[in-house]
Structure 1
Amino acid sequence: MNTNPKHEHGLNAPHADKLYIGGHWVAPSSTETFQVLNCASEEVVAHVAKANKPDIAAAVQAARHAFDHSPWPRMAPAERAAYLEKMAQRFEALNDEFARVWTTETGILYKIAKPRIGLFLSGAFRQYAAMASSHPFVEPVRSASGHQAYRVQEPVGVVAAIVPWNGPAALMAYKVAPALLAGCTVIIKCSPEAPCSGHLFAHICDEVGLPPGVVNMVTADREASEALVRDPGVDKITFTGSTAAGRRIGAVAAERVARVTLELGGKSPAVLLDDYDIEAAAQMLGAPYYSYMSGQVCHSLTRIIVPRRKHDAMVQALSAIAQGMVLGNPMDEAVTMGPLAMARQRDSVERMVAQSLAEGARLATGGRRPAHLDHGFFYEPTVLADVDNRSFAARNEFFGPVLSVIAADSEQHAIDMANDTIFGLNAVVFTHDTERAMHAARQLRAGSVGHNASRTDFSIGFGGFKQSGIGREGGADGLAAFLESKVIVLDQAAQ
């Protein structure tokens, strides 16, 4: 395998034929590998080691030993933060490599990936390093009996961090950085479709000298991943992925009362109030959605809810934007939308569009594979009109470049429809009136609500209501997810 990330036929995945377990790059229990494809060309760019159940067991054992017997959980938070700072520096040095890997594996435009990857990677690690001095890990309190007491926050234990294919490096950062600061040990489980960021990540963990077993990295399929979730040596599972997979993980974890953080799917609404300009809203909804990973983002705003009299104008404005998108190689600066990450994802979007049309949605534009691109997993940016909020198109997450326009009879009708979903991850309100925006935002059942644009912010916190997840990632809540609270009451009068 060519390991030069700048070579169009190769990705930089250090030790691609090995797994990172117990502080060493080790051979897997079998010779099986996963093929990694360039989603724009369908060429094989890497083969990475496949972890099977014995490898999962070894990774858990290494993490368990590091948590139970190494100094890591017992270090002062500032000592652990020093490692996070070193890792942030290395992420900055390898920014371009992470960006190229992300583009090749998932189809995100390189011109978007390059500035964002540093924000996610080094930004997350620096934010959590700073929390070492600001977070109250030990708080003196007075007990009801008048005794001196302490509220102590201690690491939850061994963490299984299961990351998806669409944004692996960023999601690793927001799982691993707070877990490490808390004093946990971690097994990173990479997706078979996008494992190379995990190899780069593990290489950095090794390079900065994390104690053996504190971070372990494997790539595995569903069967081995379920073994990871079931392993009694794992105290906490943090998962990002589909709601269907999240339900399964939650059910398995519940059998042994393992802790979970689940960041799952969405069908997020953009609610346009009657005072906002259609063209201005379309500019904030169309090109940014299509350009950013071709819609392969859980918090994408895919239900566009507009006053009924503005429905056709919104369809026309979004269609014009879609028709102006330039599809092609995501490394090309002139391209404005890349491919989907894999063939099965494109096939899924095709089936879902077909079912939506069969139920009565109108195809305003797109809905096909582009005729001029005979390689890569491309699908035209698509707009569906006359969508009923109770229909398949409005109920299901496409995870692709498809927007649905829905007509509302009033502001309250729009909010009611926005909330009429099993999901609750993200939302946006378009209005020039800040008070109206705040009023609508408080009514929307979503973990994030933006005003006049999608404004999710991991530095504050991210997660969903309802079946969009359990818990939060990022910010102080993201650190709390890896801590257990303990109360210690001394046989001593409170000071």
Structure 2
Amino acid sequence: MREYLKFYVNGDWIAPEAPKQMEVINPATEEVCGYISAGSAADVDKAAAAAKRAFVTYSQTTREERIELLQRILAEYQKRFDDIAKAVTEEMGAPASFAQGAQVPSGTVHIKAGIEILKTFKFEEDRGTTRIAKEPIGVCGMITPWNWPISQIALKVVPALAAGCTMVLKPSEEAPFSACIWAEIMDAAGVPAGVFNMINGAGPVVGAAIARHPGIDMVSFTGSTRAGIEVARNAAATVKRVTQELGGKSPNIILEDADFEAAVSAGVRSVMSNSGQSCNAPTRMLVPARKMDEAIVIAKEVAEATTVGDPNGNATIGPVVNKIQWENIQRLIEVGINEGATLVTGGIGRPDGLNKGFYVKPTVFANVKNDMAVAREEIFGPVVSILSYESIDEAVKIGNDTEYGLAAYISGSDMKSIRAVASQLRAGQVSINGSGGDATAPFGGYKLSGNGRETGDYGLHEYLEIKSILGYGLKQAAE
């Protein structure tokens, strides 16, 4: 049983202002696996004050000092790698192999990329006699999700540190254990007191307090579009910068000349990965109408080969994170059936032999129309919807016919055609023929998928203000 009942503020573990415990549920067993404290606005006040004091000195540190700090964090992170992986498996149900092979390594990737970007990033440039300076924005509020818990923390904390900012983190209350280990890593790495602060608690309480706090200069939020809208509303009164990485319903366009079996198989596996709990998952597969039957056969085989079970065993995927998510996925699967989509495999209820835990059957719908709920709503589970198109123009139209715009995918052989399609898709990141894994590429969305970008130098820009110093390059006036 894990207990993290203190918050990390100003370099110390401190008790909450008003002690109140929250249960953490293991989604594989539906049993309590630990406790955290539920923070309040008063706890956020304390953390924000510490971060504001620390900003005075940390914002003046050199590039070299920040690089050295990030290298110490990387070393401590690597020491705690196995501890983090076990925490991720316990708190959100990621299979141990996936936690070890993807969830925790992604944090390593973000730290290493941040170090490399910081080495050459231009914080100043001269245009004639004007100097343009990029300076740390100030105290940053960070609200992170449960689906990639440690990855998303690294994705926000690392560029903020690189920029010279201080911060207050609220990790997901669904997956707080890995975040607490992260705070221990920051402490062990010697992050100066007040630079990094962490308050656990509920989003509508702690998250809202961070968003509206006058002493916090920007907020970086990753989560649902619904929650992102509330963050923006709470932040509006203080006119702070708000960056958001929100939901998605990403099209996966498989062109006529693609390696069809490989493309369909890869698309289904990608959705099933992490139990479908990735905002950029290619959940809308678009195939040529004449190949729908072929797509059904391939997708069915891949989905039914996706084993579901104990995350500490050999299953491909584990449970989804909690009962609320499980029930919402079940509801949408039922809606898809009632709307008339072809249920290829999967469906309502737990997989056979699993009577406990928030497990979902790997599900494939075919002959889906783009006005159906399973094509429009973010299901956030292992559910693929296959749609058909008659022409490339129609495929692009369907791909863009969504309120989201986070990611898109294209498979084919003719690069000229692929590039033409990519240029027309309204999405923040387009992947061609399975390309991925570029830690320097900006990530973020159009439309209701958010504002701003993460990763790479574009991610660092979000934590910087721009100052123009006119006349900076003039020669000193004669006395």
TM range (shorter): over 0.9
In the TM superposition, residue 133 of structure 1 has moved relative to its aligned partner by 2.8
Aligned to 1:4: none
In the TM superposition, residue 463 of structure 1 has moved relative to its aligned partner by 0.6
Kept after mapping to 1: 8 A contact 2:207/2:231: no
Distance 2:125 2:439 in 1: 26
Gaps of 5+ in 2: none
Distance 2:333 2:185 in 1: 42
Q: 2:332 aligns with which of 335, 347, 352?
A: 352
Deviation string 1:217-250 (CA, Å, 9 cap, x unpaired) is 1112112321111110010000000011111212
Aligned to 1:338: 318
Query: Pairwise mapping of residues 431-470 of structure 1 onto structure 2 (< 5 A)?
Result: 431-453=412-434, 455=436, 457-470=438-451
Kept after mapping to 2: 8 A contact 1:365/1:383: yes
Kept after mapping to 2: 8 A contact 1:184/1:482: yes
Q: Matched residue pairs, number? A: 474
Deviation string 1:85-138 (CA, Å, 9 cap, x unpaired) is 100111111111111211222222221221324532232222222333301112
Aligned to 1:115: 101
Distance 1:241 1:458 in 2: 20
Higher mean alpha-carbon deviation, 25-34 vs 448-457, is at: 448-457
Label 1:161 to 1:116 Cα distance change in 2 as closer, same or farther (>3 A): same
Q: 1:480 aligns with which of 451, 461, 464?
A: 461
Label 1:326 to 1:428 Cα distance change in 2 as closer, same or farther (>3 A): same
Kept after mapping to 2: 8 A contact 1:38/1:104: yes
Distance 1:244 1:38 in 2: 25
Distance 2:159 2:249 in 1: 28
Aligned to 1:82: 68
Query: Pairwise mapping of residues 245-284 of structure 1 onto structure 2 (< 5 A)?
Result: 245-284=227-266
Distance 1:460 1:276 in 2: 25
Kept after mapping to 1: 8 A contact 2:369/2:387: yes
Distance 1:491 1:287 in 2: 55
Distance 1:425 1:80 in 2: 31
Deviation string 1:142-165 (CA, Å, 9 cap, x unpaired) is 1xxxxx321111000000010001
Kept after mapping to 2: 8 A contact 1:98/1:117: no
Q: 2:42 aligns with which of 54, 79, 104?
A: 54
Deviation string 1:326-383 (CA, Å, 9 cap, x unpaired) is 1111222x31121111111110000111122222222111012113011211010001
Higher mean alpha-carbon deviation, 308-317 vs 109-118, is at: 109-118
Aligned to 2:182: 201
In the TM superposition, residue 56 of structure 1 has moved relative to its aligned partner by 1.4
Higher mean alpha-carbon deviation, 36-45 vs 233-242, is at: 36-45
TM-score in terms of structure 2 length:
0.96
Aligned to 1:100: 86
Q: 1:130 aligns with which of 95, 98, 116?
A: 116
Distance 2:292 2:99 in 1: 33
Query: Pairwise mapping of residues 31-430 of structure 1 onto structure 2 (< 5 A)?
Result: 31-67=19-55, 69=56, 71-142=57-128, 148-221=129-202, 222-290=204-272, 292-332=273-313, 334-368=314-348, 369-430=350-411
- Aligned to 2:131, the other structure's residue is in SS state strand
Distance 2:303 2:475 in 1: 66
Kept after mapping to 1: 8 A contact 2:141/2:167: yes
In the TM superposition, residue 37 of structure 1 has moved relative to its aligned partner by 1.9
In the TM superposition, residue 411 of structure 1 has moved relative to its aligned partner by 1.1
Kept after mapping to 1: 8 A contact 2:270/2:281: no
Kept after mapping to 2: 8 A contact 1:52/1:224: yes
Distance 1:406 1:17 in 2: 48
Moved segments of 4+, more than 3 Å: none
Kept after mapping to 1: 8 A contact 2:26/2:32: yes
Kept after mapping to 2: 8 A contact 1:159/1:238: yes
Kept after mapping to 2: 8 A contact 1:278/1:317: no
Kept after mapping to 2: 8 A contact 1:34/1:48: yes
Q: Percent identity?
A: 37
Label 1:449 to 1:387 Cα distance change in 2 as closer, same or farther (>3 A): same
- Aligned to 2:36, the other structure's residue is in SS state strand
Gaps of 5+ in 1: 2-10, 143-147
TM-score in terms of structure 1 length:
0.93
Kept after mapping to 1: 8 A contact 2:310/2:318: yes
Higher mean alpha-carbon deviation, 472-481 vs 246-255, is at: 246-255
In the TM superposition, residue 305 of structure 1 has moved relative to its aligned partner by 0.6
In the TM superposition, residue 457 of structure 1 has moved relative to its aligned partner by 3.3
In the TM superposition, residue 205 of structure 1 has moved relative to its aligned partner by 1.1
In the TM superposition, residue 253 of structure 1 has moved relative to its aligned partner by 1.9
- Aligned to 1:422, the other structure's residue is in SS state coil
Deviation string 1:187-241 (CA, Å, 9 cap, x unpaired) is 1101111001110011111112211110001112112321111110010000000
Distance 1:492 1:48 in 2: 54
